[in-house]
A and B are shown apart, each in its own frame.
Chain A
């Protein structure tokens, strides 16, 4: 087939179309003008003009996480690229597939400190899965297709393409995705059969098993969640999820023991500590999960299923590492498990469940409901969950802080891809643009950013984007007038010296909403809460709901840094007895 000649900008656009891209998030500037010119009145690609490049990346993350597709970002050189760095790092940490296109100064000026030049590939090398600087227009089509392949295959992640302006304007050949032979980069998706057999043997022998699943299950696709459920049902094993994994296993199922980790449930963390077989599925033994490493689940054999070999034995030495795609590995395990007619040890399982149920009785997520006037933040989330239940499609994003943890604890997800939070990087300012991206992908969904009053100000400018595209995104602020999570740590570790954690001079969020063409609402008393939530849901416009909650509430349970799973603080009364260790003090 004869190749078509076109300029770099058009090659790029054609590659995007051929990759099935319909929406991109971006912000123009000198170095990407050729691309914007090519996009002018384009008939199949919609460009969403954000208000800051950081917003574009988080929006693309929300888009990607709610659809499973690759999110696409276009920004200009220099400041455009540097503004994108936080979002790229966020996507890197949470394994979110993105392709980010950055403009660059013309090739002959690279290295000259030209206007709006920065070493984009140098700056983003550690925060992308891979990046490219394209110097020859004839490489561009190949690089574009390769970038999409790399972003979505194996452990997904952000890929950046730096495109000098002269290359965008030069004429070159276009080739389609099929003409690009796959890179040698080929992550292992199927595990060795011997490992599957070994896993089934360990599963058959377990007396106190626990499934510990994470974001990898969601990244593996909806089929993986189904298989995880099948596996749990077949074995009768309890299942816990990481913050990133919420939704990968239905929260309403009785085998779900809740989220684990620093603010996980008592039963999940105790089960982690006391299990004799841990089956880690697409989770990565992050320090928020393990607590003190030398006391981490001391008596268990551990199986770890992950597509990224570097995740295995990184923090915790496991007995059986299985490299492969979660859905493929689970499928193979189920096949062998059924073929061998394995049965779980019924007696042992009964005793184990008995113990788990006794932990459950502590009702660790309960909170003080005595006040008739004050809105407890946990209660606000509980009501938000209850009142949005009827809605057929609810997408929740969060900012970072206490509200994020309360959302994780009190909002429940039965399906994957409905919960988006910045897990690895913990980026304040993530939630609003992410909700915007999710709303672009799901126009009929109820997309809610559960926010803190401090975090929301970090990307508040995206309210203008929301206005421009008439997105009915809802912002549900748990307003405690504090950087609550910072205050909580200062209370726990620094003698209650609330250094710079009070949020003074907050804007009037109702008026702020109005200034952006959205609807502002406020609840200051318990009696107003349900009404405001319902009004917010019923409103067909974008809403900022300012929920003024108890200012001093803290998140419990909590594994203080440097402590073990069985050393949880269950509530405010607990902290005096168990001071945080010196080693714990230095941990983040």
Chain B
């Protein structure tokens, strides 16, 4: 880490936890209590046999703060593993979004055309609305939403980032 100690960088952190009541509150409480940022947070059970969930947190901070966040997460009793995907090497990040666009005429055609370019699928449609499903990294989804704004964007629901390391290694 040759980075300037003052620069804030975005990090995607994976946390494997016991899937027990209160575990998400512990993680969120840690971030709010200590004043760390949460840009996105997702959680779901990933291992039914061992009752484990995986939390993906996107956060930002100076190298010292990021190190603190990881150490503080590791300290929580139900936490099994903490991995900083941003530091550990190449990884894939994806988000899924459902985006509702109301419109008629040309705007409607244009929305469909852009959706096609972004490989977004229409998963619901009425005479004057679409719901698009789009998968991609955060930047792609942001760009799509921006383009939909003048075309009648009315509602957005996003999952937040899920991420996994590239290659053979597993958490």
Contacts and interface: CB of A to CB of B under 8 A. Distances in A.
Nearest to A323: B71
Interface stretch (A276-284, A310-318, A374-382): A310-318
A150 interface: yes
B171 interface: no
Given A125-B22, A133-B21, A309 B29 contact: no
A189 to B, nearest CB: 15
Contact of A313 (B21, B29, B67): B67
Given A313-B67, A313-B68, A317-B64, A185 B22 contact: no
Contacts of A125: 22, 25-26, 29
B40 interface: no
Contacts of B35: none
Interface in A128-165: 129-131, 133, 150, 155
B138 interface: no
B77 interface: yes
Overall SS of chain B's interface: helix
Contact of B68 (A122, A133, A150, A310): A310
Contact of A126 (B21, B33, B64, B74): B33
Given A125-B22, A125-B25, A309 B77 contact: no
Given A313-B64, A313-B67, A129 B77 contact: yes
A498 to B, nearest CB: 34
A265 to B, nearest CB: 30
A32 to B, nearest CB: 22
Interface string B45-73: 00000000000000000001001100110
A150 B71 CA distance: 17
A391 interface: no
Interface in B72-99: 72, 74-78, 80
A310 B75 contact: yes
B22 A121 contact: yes
Interface residues of B, number: 18
Contacts of A254: none
A308 interface: yes
Contacts of A369: none
B77 A150 contact: yes
Contact of B29 (A126, A183, A308, A312): A126
Contacts of A183: 77
A109 to B, nearest CB: 17
Given A126-B33, A183-B77, A185-B77, A314 B22 contact: no
Contacts of A155: 75
Contacts of B67: 313
Nearest to A183: B77
Contacts of B80: 184
Interface string A297-338: 000000000001110111001000000000000000000000
B74 A122 contact: no
Nearest to A309: B71
Interface residues of A, number: 20
B75 A309 contact: yes
A129 B22 CA distance: 13
B77 A130 contact: yes
A317 B75 CA distance: 19
A310 B72 contact: yes
Contacts of A185: 77
| Max chain B C-beta neighbours (<10 A), residue from A121, A125, A133 | A125
Contacts of A317: 5, 64
A396 to B, nearest CB: 31
Nearest to A146: B77
Nearest to A149: B77
Most buried by A among B22, B25, B78: B22
Given A126-B29, A314-B68, A317-B64, A309 B22 contact: no
Interface in B1-58: 5, 21-22, 25-26, 29, 33
Interface string B118-129: 000000000000
A399 to B, nearest CB: 27
Contacts of A313: 64, 67-68
A184 B82 CA distance: 14
A308 B68 CA distance: 11
Contacts of B25: 122, 125
Interface in B127-156: none
Nearest to B81: A184
B71 A310 contact: yes
Nearest to B72: A310
A188 to B, nearest CB: 10
Given A185-B77, A309-B75, A314-B68, 4 more contacts: A130-B76, A130-B77, A131-B22, A308-B75
Interface of B: 5, 21-22, 25-26, 29, 33, 64, 67-68, 71-72, 74-78, 80
Ranked 3 nearest A-B pairs via Cβ: A310-B71, A130-B77, A309-B71
6 contacts: A125-B29, A185-B77, A310-B68, A310-B74, A313-B67, A314-B68
